[in-house]
Structure 1
Amino acid sequence: MLTAIHPKLPMRNRDATRNFYLGALGFQEIGDYGDYLMVQKEGIEIHFFAFPGLNPKENYGQVYIRTDAIETYYNSLLEAKIRIHPNGALEAKPWGQREFSLLDPDHNLLTFGQGI
């Protein structure tokens, strides 16, 4: 019955969001409707809605993305000089995952994880 989930996150500036996800993270744009942007990478789809008054320091948007090549992806982001969250370096967690995190331009937290 349920087949997929596509989180919706706030964005202040469509161009900044598009540039980060397409340029920095390697997503592709699959829809742009002015106040609504959709991006995709492999099986992951994220939607964004316009929220120009968003205070990034008060944003609690979060997404957990599973991967099967966490070290490869982590290292590719480091090589591309993508800033990893100060408390989000790649490490093994007690709940059986290797994870790392980063913040997008609006402080939506993206956590990437792979089972140990």
Structure 2
Amino acid sequence: MLVSIQPKLPMRNKAKTREYYIDSLGFKEYGTNEYPEYLMIEKDEVQLHFFLFEALNPKENYGQVYVRTNDIDKIYQVLLNNNVPIHPSGKLGVRPWGQKEFSLLDPDHNLLTFGQAID
């Protein structure tokens, strides 16, 4: 019965969040931007939502999203080619739980982990 999920993450500045996800990660805006305190973006089958939280302290933000992919090596290389910083503890590698993963932090320190099952 469940068909999808759209995580809602905090953002301090809509323009900076939009720029990071669209220009650096290749997402596109979804829906309308008529809401100054809300942003929706999508890429392929993944959609993320953001709500304005100007008082957010990024060092105290624990927002996290796990994104599954079927071509993690390509995504990782594209991000490296675009000079997108990879989390220092989240470089591409095989994890003990059977996933090949890497992570990055957005401008508000929401942790994005990309993973693919090891065949």
| 5+ long unaligned stretches in structure 1 | none
Q: Which residue of 1 aligns with 2:48?
A: 46
TM-score, L = length of structure 2: 0.96
**Matched position secondary structure for 2:88:** coil
Deviation at 1:113, TM superposition (A): 0.0
The reply to whether residue 68 of structure 1 matches residue 78 of structure 2 is no
CA distance in structure 1 between the aligned counterparts of 2:62 and 2:3, rounded to whole angstroms: 25
TM-score by length of 1: 0.99
The aligned counterpart of 1:21 is 21
Instruction: Give the Cα–Cα distance (whole angstroms) in 2 for the partners of residues 34 and 63 of structure 1.
Output: 23
- What's 1:59 paired with? 61
- Structure 1 moving runs of 4+ over 4 Å: none
- 5+ residue gaps in structure 2? none
Partner of 2:108: 106
Residue 9 of structure 1: CA displacement?
Answer: 0.1
Q: Distance in 1 between matches of 2:21 and 2:81?
A: 16
* RMSD of Structure 2 on Structure 1 (CA): 0.5
Q: 1: distance between equivalents of 2:48 and 2:24? A: 15
Determine whether 1:2 maps to 2:2.
yes
Shift in Å, 1:88:
0.4
Task: Give the deviation of 1:75 after TM superposition.
Answer: 0.5
Task: Give the CA deviation at 1:110.
Answer: 0.1
**Aligned counterparts of 1:81 and 1:2: Cα–Cα separation in 2:** 36
Paired residue type of 1:29: E
